[in-house]
Amino acid sequence: CSYNLHEFVTNKNIDKYGLGDKEVLLHATSGLLYLHDLRIIHRDIKPHNILITKPDARGLARALISDFGLCKKLPRDKTALTNHGSSMAGTCGWIAPEVFEGTHPLTFSSDIFSLGCIFFFLLSFGIHPFGDELNRQYNIQSQNLNLTSITDKISKNEATDLISRMVDHDPKNRPTSKQVLGHLFFWNLKKRSQFLQVPDCFILHFF
């Protein structure tokens, strides 16, 4: 791999290999979906653990999730991992509130929270939705959120809607990785236009 997502965002002189922001987020979310389908909770999703590869033989670069040292596999007969009394896993400022508190069972949604922070970090050119590094985890715990810095004017409303759902304080309200991929934010122009087209049968029904 060439470098990590933090460098991708903060180093203006870096070669991005033609990767757009949405493409990076699509790759990262797809990687998380793969882990969750294997019933693996990553527990340390952050920009430094998203790696950007050099272009392959076809000239295509990718964003990949890395550092699986804190991963936990969820047994088939369980929907969450006991978190009470265990040491905190992950990186302060990027972990979900329930992980920091250590009083709630851990689910896949804790990864979704961290990924939502990454979405905003990338789309705002390096700004964290919960503020500066010193106060970040406190702001997460107190739900002090600011999503006004997204720079993509075309997708700003969709991005704000998706991120606000991903970083919801209540883990039960967050979307799954599959639902994140299906959000309007990731729809291309063709899919958007198809959605807006009214079928003939629908028109006939009303006339």
Helix axes 156-166, 109-123, angle to 10 degrees: 150
User: In degrees, to the nearest 5, what angle opens at C-alpha 142 toward C-alphas 98 and 50?
Assistant: 55
Q: Which residue has the higher pLDDT, 137 or 85?
A: 137
On whether residue 110 sits in a domain, the answer given is: yes
How does residue 87 score in pLDDT terms, banded at 50, 70 and 90?
Answer: low
On whether residue 151 sits in a domain, the answer given is: yes
Q: What is the CATH number of the domain that holds 185?
A: 1.10.510.10
- Rounded to whole angstroms, the Cα distance separating 169 from 142 reads 9
The pTM of this model reads 0.88
pLDDT of residue 198: 56
On whether residue 64 sits in a domain, the answer given is: yes
Q: Which range, of 79-93, 111-125, 151-165, 175-189, averages the lowest pLDDT?
A: 79-93
For the chain, how many residues are written?
207
pLDDT of residue 206: 43
pLDDT of residue 207: 40
- Rounded to whole angstroms, the Cα distance separating 44 from 58 reads 31
Residue 108 has pLDDT above 90, yes or no: yes
Share of the chain above pLDDT 70, in %: 88
Highest mean pLDDT among 66-75, 88-97, 112-121: 112-121
The question of whether 200 is a catalytic residue gets the answer no
Residue 74 has pLDDT above 50, yes or no: yes
Q: Which range, of 50-64, 79-93, 124-138, 145-159, averages the lowest pLDDT?
A: 79-93
On whether residue 207 sits in a domain, the answer given is: no
- Rounded to whole angstroms, the Cα distance separating 65 from 75 reads 22
Set 15, 21, 37, 44: catalytic member: 44
Q: Which helix (H) or strand (E) holds 180?
A: helix 177-181
Which domain, by its residues, includes 13?
3-202
On whether residue 68 sits in a domain, the answer given is: yes
DSSP string, 33-85: HHHHHTTEE-----GGGEEEPPP-TTS---EEE---TT-EEPPTT-SSB--TT
Q: Give the chain's domain count.
A: 1
Q: Which range, of 30-44, 91-105, 132-146, 191-205, averages the lowest pLDDT?
A: 191-205
Over the stretch 24-42, which tens digit does the pLDDT of each residue have? 999 999 999 999 999 999 9
